[in-house]
Amino acid sequence: MQPDLKKAVEAGLALPLMEAFYTIQGEGYHKGSAAFFIRIGGCDVGCHWCDVKESWDANLHPPTRIEEIVSQAKSYADTVVVTGGEPLMWNMNPLTEALQAAGMKTHIETSGAYPLSGKWDWICLSPKKRMLPKPEIYTAADELKVIVYNKDDLRFAEKQALGVVDTCKLYLQPEWSRRDSAIPLIVTHVLENPKWMASLQTHKYLKIP
């Protein structure tokens, strides 16, 4: 990588962009809404059921200047969802400031395993057992989304919910490959604990990105 580009990445002025696309949000509180997704490369959380493992190695994805990212985003939508990978491995301040200056709302989906950076209109915290969130992100989260692979994930979800604020939306979402066994667990848990809501990956049922 050229020295000037390396410095730009370190400063958050360029990011390892895996892909960017316009679609309908499929999960959580904003499901059904149009948004422009920015998928940032790089992740060491290592979920065995991750459906975008190709995002893990940031070196596979070319550093892209944030001006280019913002220019593309504003031609599609007024809401941008930054995801990964794990986007908080990188400095999100320049990107979010530029997006907001262009009149766009900034949303993020993160495991919270790295320090919070960026200015966000909506934070979806999706914690993982292998690398727990940093303490400061719990109170900043607007939405807590826990992936349910087995029954122990419900215990994990309840423990994670202790750290968020009262207004935070709580979601349990089945891991896609285990949905047939996980959905009954989620349904029972939501009925017994109605502070939770069920979330599905509706974009997969709709067969869209």
pTM: 0.95
Interval 137-187: pLDDT, tens: 999 999 999 999 999 999 999 999 999 999 999 999 999 999 999 999 999
**Percentage of residues in the chain having pLDDT higher than 90:** 93
- The confidence score (pLDDT) of residue 176 equals 95
Interval 75-91: pLDDT, tens: 998 999 999 999 999 99
Write down all domains in the chain, each with its CATH number in brackets: 3-206 (3.20.20.70)
Mean pLDDT of 203-208: 92
Of 159, 148, 150, which Cα lies nearest the Cα of 197? 148
